Chains A and B, each alone.
Chain A
């Protein structure tokens, strides 16, 4: 279905190039679900846009390829891409607040989208009403303007809009940010129900590993534009092999181990305009060794499904033990 092969993305900015994504390889089978987790600014949204061939003008695919069903998106002319968009791959952006056209009613937005792919208004209205019911909204909201809806309603309307043509890939970029817990729950439940329905593949982006654990069968942990670790969600989170994943995991409350205290990883991600030599996580890693600062560890497969980019992947079990100590993370500060 979707395959990212050694993808690197560079933003051209006034102050020089920003290497937002470097050498990311991911794949998502039809009907599968892949979670992307990582701190703010690690390149999640950039990857999402690359997957949809929606990178802004100032971004450049500096290497690698994005393939949808084996087709290299970069090789397709804009007109062909336009046909793929929304019919094959749809998108729920990070902020539904700003992603709906403020001056148009929802009906207009459904119709415009439909018209772009040759669907007539009447049919669009019908589909829209059905989809809105599917996301548990009253069809009457079609005649409302975005600002007249609550955040949760907007996000659900957004999802309904994304399903207009029954796409095979849905990219959801932090769809629950800014929503209150109850609404968050509704949206997640909705996505969980949709996942796999009619073979819909889900690329789900979040910095919340709990949500990813719930929704996605597979996960990739991103740090400073690089994949640190990837694999089946269950094993990655129960037995993280990468120190960053260990820290990340400890940064969220775990309902199974409520006694564990929450830690925060001291320090900041590196500036992508001038990435450091060696492992990008080295400056913050509590287990750092000299080799980490010199050589960038490659992403290596440790089992059938799992890959990790750490020099000390062999000592992962020991490191996991040491990582249980909250003081360790503080020390690193």
Chain B
């Protein structure tokens, strides 16, 4: 079977080999070395994956893709050991996030399994992301996140239903039920939800607000900066981040750090409060008239940073503008909102293309109020207004733009006209590409808040400093091992369930992240999201005997060398 495959596509194989040659050659210039190495790593993983398990034969080495981050390497060192008693061997292939996206998501080349960690972006607070995006059969298409090819009609129905269910109680039921399928079918081994660890200078500032999935320093949730209060005469706070923004144009970037930072300037219509509940932000309120009609009302007396008042005109303009230009970064908005109609000075009626339960959180919480008088004047010779430099961003958010020096700092000033007044006079965000320097700056007092994920060792070092405080916040982001249901033996449900029983989540979290996090109950939604987590689900019992029993019951055997053997046909 293998040989037919090979002789069937000599041209492709040839081409790929040749491309690898070229890449290797270029690698000599140090330019493309990582990419070339990665392509061959993935190809290697594919080869081991193509060695499919045959009935009655020993299980081949299982191909594993893992990102080349230290914690992931440690994870697989542990898992290789823990899974040994089942008589299986792993073939580990490391890659970057870049390869993950291009090879596994876009090209769908997942070997038997792959591990990944998903960050706690605000839109992922809605259960729709970790259910539909990751496990709906529709998302098995190229570029979809269901790259392990899980298909279950019953689950699909529940996932679709919860998405259009506007009644929160009913939706909760559907979401909880959908999770039971994931636990039962085991398309993924959800491991844990690692805490976000940030730190700040408590002698200089108080009023930090830890928010689920955001910590105290990420810009994802604008609420987290609102109550920060200076304790010394200096009224602005210096915050360090690994990244810098790339653009000041809010229509351009889909990248989460950049887009959320710009939304400090451009107020979104809604946002999340400390309990992760949706709350009005630029809006005063919203009203769901029916599943595809939503009335929204702007706060009275809203002013843009240039002093011009914001009205329903601007709201309508924003949605029309997005629909007209179909900004890729804002696809979820134009794909949901069909039209916007002015119904009063401050009110607009939105017509949706389909009913969408995450609408208030993920569409109104992502869309921002854009000033009509500025964006309608953008020159039309550009391919898209997303290419407009927008050097002086004017929004209506709690922070006004002051200055951005690329690679040096972004300076923001409090908008005293915002309905909720920041207690700081301003913020300076300093991009520092190195963790050690970030910690050093905080320790020396060159920065006031460290807004990037620390590990526990650094966290402990910082917490010994009496001026500094380390804050741990749970997140809905998660670490998982996705299993490929498109090939043996991971297509075997018993095999997947057996892996669950030999995966000690608590121990892994302890070893890798010093226990800083929440152990998964096996479902993709963190128990910390009480509204959506299913309390009836608990993590599978950790027991080698149980795992072997599950395998034995499904017809797996072990050969004389102790190697796991596939059930005979």
Question: Do chains A and B make direct contact within the complex (CB under 8 angstroms)?
Answer: no
